[in-house]
Amino acid sequence: MNSKVRDVMTRDVVAVHLYTPFKDIARTLFDREISAVPVLDDSCHVTGIVCAADLVEQQALGSASARPRVRSVSAQTLMTSPVVTVTADTDTATAARLMYRNAVKHLPVVSDTGRLVGIVSEKDLLTVFLRPDLDIQDEIVRTVILAEPESRLSTMTVRVRDGIVLASGHAADEEPVRQAIEQIRAVDGVIEVIDRVEIGPVSVS
């Protein structure tokens, strides 16, 4: 159910070399209107990442007398390394957790051999939550409710508004409802699930 990094990542990614000078990095960030670039070694493997904040910090920490030496500063001295990476098959929820736990805003996307294939940002991950409510509801019905025997979820129904899912109705047993709610939470675009399903014998009139 969860979308993968490949669904939201930027594929046309620009990178710099370990020895790319400070000024060239700044020019790359400015010209491409980006805030971070992966750093590659001689084998084209991702070895670090440089963010705009790293360049600003370098300037802020340098004294006025030391500033002429900025010409000798390269990506190798500026970058964060080791860098947290993901693969294209990583699900977006995992990518979001990695960003949060490591306090980073960009994750280079690498192949099985460590080669750069893309980059994913916080903004990219937000696109998951722009999914139309009707699409979310259709997926829940198709992959969660209809996937269960009718006797297990009985008259359970869902409505989605602004990414918030309201589950209601009746079910004979609590366990299948609990499992269904967990599956619904994993659907792309779901922000919250409100469980109002009543458990117990279903009366037939």
**Residue 9 belongs to domain with CATH number:** 3.10.580.10
Asked whether 159 and 131 are in contact (CB, 8 A), the reply is no
Mean pLDDT, residues 112-138 taken together: 92
**Residue ending a domain, choose from 88, 112, 128:** 128
| pTM greater than the 0.75 cutoff | no
Domain co-membership, 122 together with 137: no
Domain co-membership, 91 together with 37: yes
Is 28 domain-assigned? yes
**Residue ending a domain, choose from 103, 128, 153:** 128
Domain co-membership, 115 together with 136: no
- Whether residue 143 is predicted with pLDDT greater than 60 in this model: the reply is yes
Domain co-membership, 113 together with 140: no
Name the more confident of 155 and 67.
155
In sequence order, the 6+-apart residues with CB closer than 8 A to the CB of 31 are none
Domain co-membership, 16 together with 109: yes
Domain co-membership, 22 together with 114: yes
- Domain limits for position 9: 5-128
Mean pLDDT, residues 185-201 taken together: 90
Peptide bond into 82 cis (omega under 30): yes
Domain co-membership, 173 together with 189: yes
Domain co-membership, 116 together with 137: no
Domain co-membership, 146 together with 93: no
